[in-house]
Amino acid sequence: MDLLNTLVDKGLRREPLSRAEALAVLGTSDDDLLDVVAAAGKVRRHWFGRRVKLNYLVNLKSGLCPEDCSYCSQRLGSTAGILKYTWLKPDEASRAAAAGLAGGAKRVCLVASGRGPTDRDVDRVAGTIKAIKEENEGVEVCACLGLLSDGQAERLREAGADAYNHNLNTSESTYGEITTTHTYADRVDTVQKAHAAGLSACSGLIAGMGETDEDLVDVVFSLRELDPDSVPVNFLIPFEGTPLAKEWNLTPQRCLRILAMVRFVCPDVEVRIAGGREVHLRTMQPLALHLANSIFLGDYLTSEGQAGKADLEMIADAGFEVEGADQVTLPEHRAAGGGCGSHESRGGCGAHEDGGCGSHEGGGCGAHEGGGVCGSADATATAAPTAAPQAGEARTDLVAVRRRGAGTDLAPNA
């Protein structure tokens, strides 16, 4: 396709796409999907090789948020049966982080629900950052605490934070349909505060909330203008008990086209597959590694993810390698400017349910590992065939509330 050849050339030269070109990527057919993935994969490999950066989430404070973000299981009025707990102590957070780092993660993302931190909260998180960095040499830490007030980004930077995450989530024109307790401009302001403080800005989107192709292109172009080092791409987890529980609009093919569009628009930026990859990409997850160069390891904020061991096996089986702590994530021209990539510089993050760090609410697998009629005298009988799921069908069987790790007495998934 002439379009794809043009997009590859632009990606290798870091030349901006037009809106029409970005929309054309989203409008390609399933017959052309592998060609789209192959083309965007050339851009990904040019800037990031075959490395995959692993990030690990620690949910410092879960639930009880006063904001009304429609996608979030922690929102005001949510009846989702998630874990609810107040701030973890620094040593508890440090132990949780250590599990992810032992599993191969390079960056720890510290997330807390709420509109934004008080100054006391910033002090609390500063202590947690110091505890994690004292125990883990070279670790990158991203804070994800909601809307920032003046001076708070600077204080987090002084405490050792490398990055700050706050997602735009959707287009400015439709933002008011998703959230009413704060504005799109509030989110932009927080990303700009992080930039100004010398933190690596991490900001992304959520797909699958009923938006149009134009909305997706609008938000990705707005992100390009903000120039974050890291762009997490979330796929909505339609949690029961939230207003968007019935929004099952995504197919694996649609997710791959969205990731390809983001890669073409942001060719030299860390693109992270965040919440929802297990639910919506499903068996197509390995193909997505040809488009994104970063994922979360293990569980998310309020929902379970694929087993950490399975994540590592998937990366290896797809012919990729886990990025090491001594490797710089971003291309030289970005990293030299203090961008995400080296542990002493800035780095992206990626997961906050109500607008922070890249995994809007997690995304989790939760499917049964076994299946069948084990344990009965009739165990050898042939099980009744299960109908194959149809495109766009609700897959509530793939959504499981997190019951392990931070805030529990059970070992984390890492």
Q: For the chain, give every domain's residue range.
A: 2-6+17-335
* β strands within 236-367, DSSP E: 270-273, 294-296, 321-322
pLDDT digits (tens, 9 = 90+) for 181-195: 999 999 999 999 999
Query: pTM, whole model, 2 decimals?
Result: 0.88
| Average pLDDT score over residue span 370-378 | 33
In the set 109, 144, 340, 349, the catalytic residue is 109
Which is it for the CA torsion 184, 219, 213, 71, positive or negative?
Answer: negative
pLDDT band per the 50, 70, 90 thresholds, residue 375: very low
Give dist(CA 5, CA 83) in Å, integer. 48
Is 14 tagged catalytic?
no
Is 357 tagged catalytic?
no
Looking at the predicted structure, is the pLDDT value of residue 347 above 50?
A: no
Phi and psi for 100 in degrees, rounded to 5? -65, -40
Residue listed under structure tokens 């990158």: 140
In the set 202, 255, 266, 349, the catalytic residue is 202
In the set 272, 277, 334, 402, the catalytic residue is 272
Is 365 tagged catalytic?
no
Is 349 tagged catalytic?
no
Is 69 tagged catalytic?
yes
Q: Which architecture characterizes domain 2-6+17-335 according to CATH?
A: Alpha-Beta Barrel (3.20)
In the set 44, 51, 65, 255, the catalytic residue is 65
> 338: burial class by Cβ within 10 Å (0-12, 13-18, 19+)?
middle
Report the DSSP beta bridge partners of residue 61. 112
Give dist(CA 211, CA 320) in Å, integer. 32
Binding annotation for [4Fe-4S] cluster: 65, 69, 72
Looking at the predicted structure, is the pLDDT value of residue 156 above 70?
A: yes
pLDDT digits (tens, 9 = 90+) for 274-317: 999 999 999 999 999 999 999 999 998 888 899 999 999 999 99
Give dist(CA 199, CA 229) in Å, integer. 10
Is 255 tagged catalytic?
no
Binding annotation for [2Fe-2S] cluster: 109, 142, 202, 272
pLDDT band per the 50, 70, 90 thresholds, residue 231: very high
